[in-house]
Structure 1
Amino acid sequence: MAAAMLLAGANAAEAHIVAARLGDFYMGASHPFTDLADVLLWTATGMLAGTLGASKGRWLIPVFPLGLLVGLPLGHVFGAASTQFADAAMMLAIGMLLAAAAQVPTLLLCAIAFAVAVIRGAANGADLLPETDRVLFAAGLACAGYGVITLTMALTVLFKQARSDGPASWRAIAVRALGGWIAAIGLMMASLVLAS
């Protein structure tokens, strides 16, 4: 009888924060992690900044989230499909810079990071639904970009500095080899885009 009374008097549960419209913030923060291009490009950009050192890389902390915010409204102009070749080209370029252990000037590093962020911001913006709160989505996307760039850059700096034996250390070689793999993935993606 007690169970019947509880079931009869039960109201609809409002247990999810989506009802408070904060779901769009979390959707913006988690959406990039569902796309391989976001994961690879964001990680590669953070690694490139980390290999150049903290003094150059710290400029990306404000530049990358700003680029995501600039690119987000461009999603409906370009669409996700039109950014595929740009993704592949940026992946190839960043991978080659990592593989060559190139010493990129700070201004060029910021321009590369800003371009990656605008491209990926546009790709994420193309997936927005009309009912999505764009301000909350943008805030989540910018926070995710800030976190990924900062953590990847810091981990790369620590990885390369820990007991480094100079340019021929296994750590520097590992970063360069990973850059080669990133460039290869970019080359494959570009050839797939051009073939279709």
Structure 2
Amino acid sequence: MLRNRPIRRWHAALVPIALLASTPAHAHLVSTRFGEFYAGLLHPLTTLSHVVPWVALGLLAAVQGIRGARWNLLAFPLAVAIGVLLGSWLPGFDAGLQWGNIASIVLLGALLATAVALPMPAFLGLSVLFGLSHGYTNVVSELEGRALLLYTTGVACAGYLLVALLGAGALVVVRQNWGLVAVRALGSWILAAGVIFAGFSLLGQPGA
């Protein structure tokens, strides 16, 4: 049997030197062309201040009827895309618009809880307004060119998929006897969550 040879001292000294000289490894997608698209697709869906009002808007569109839900499919994602581009080209308004996003949770939750049938211009105006606001605050300032275009498309697709799926599902649900009651109950929960979120934002410590 071979005996284990003792490790020479100068071999052992190479270990810390190699560790100090090493460079950090970076994980990345195999196809970086699609990395920004998926980043944009997931970014708003992993943030409660975005996904909650988007859910409320999709449900509220169904309350407006099939015509309102169809127009919302065009108005909201387009406004989100424009908002992302505006945030990239004209930065600096994030702080104020963050409060607008919080207000959107409260307002859309209240409208959904009361099942208000808004005039079409008023509903689409809210959809465009909040789409611009949420799109602006979803921007990544480091991106430009093709990367910005892919990211913007991803964010807009997230908005489209969310309001399309929720709007279509809610259109079926609200036709049931219990459906509108369930949607209004969910609206009241969204309203309560918005009020709590606003309270913590006003009184809580930054980063808490």
Question: TM-score, length-normalised on structure 2?
Answer: 0.77
Q: Deviations along 1:144-185, whole A, 9 cap, x unmatched?
A: 211111111001001112xx23xxxx2211111111111111
The structure with the larger Rg is: 2
* Aligned residues of 1:85 and 1:189 also touching (Cα < 8 A): no
Distance 1:97-1:15 versus aligned 2 partners, 3 A rule: closer
What percent of counterpart residues are identical? 34
The amino acid across from 2:193 in the alignment is I
The amino acid across from 2:69 in the alignment is G
CA RMSD of aligned residues (A): 1.9
The amino acid across from 1:115 in the alignment is L
Shift of 1:103: 1.1
* Aligned residues of 2:59 and 2:167 also touching (Cα < 8 A): yes
3-state secondary structure, aligned to 1:129: coil
Asked if 1:50 is matched to 2:62, the reply is yes
Shift of 1:193: 2.4
Q: Deviations along 1:73-109, whole A, 9 cap, x unmatched?
A: 3432212x43332112111111111111111111111
3-state secondary structure, aligned to 1:124: coil
Match of 1:8 in 2: none
Matches within 5 A, 1:60-99: 60-75=72-87, 76-79=91-94, 81-99=95-113
Asked if 1:109 is matched to 2:123, the reply is yes
2-structure distance, mates of 1:155, 1:67: 22
Question: TM-score, length-normalised on structure 1?
Answer: 0.81
Shift of 1:131: 6.4
1-structure distance, mates of 2:154, 2:103: 26
Runs of 4+ in 1 over 4 A off after TM superposition: none
Asked if 1:149 is matched to 2:163, the reply is yes
1-structure distance, mates of 2:158, 2:75: 13
Structure 2 spans left out of the alignment, 5+ residues: 1-27
* Aligned residues of 2:29 and 2:35 also touching (Cα < 8 A): no
Shift of 1:15: 7.0
Q: Deviations along 1:114-150, whole A, 9 cap, x unmatched?
A: 111111101111x443468111111111112111111
* Aligned residues of 2:44 and 2:50 also touching (Cα < 8 A): yes
Asked if 1:23 is matched to 2:43, the reply is no
The amino acid across from 1:112 in the alignment is L
Asked if 1:184 is matched to 2:202, the reply is no
Asked if 1:129 is matched to 2:142, the reply is yes
Higher helix proportion, which one?
A: 1
Distance 1:185-1:151 versus aligned 2 partners, 3 A rule: same
1-structure distance, mates of 2:187, 2:53: 11
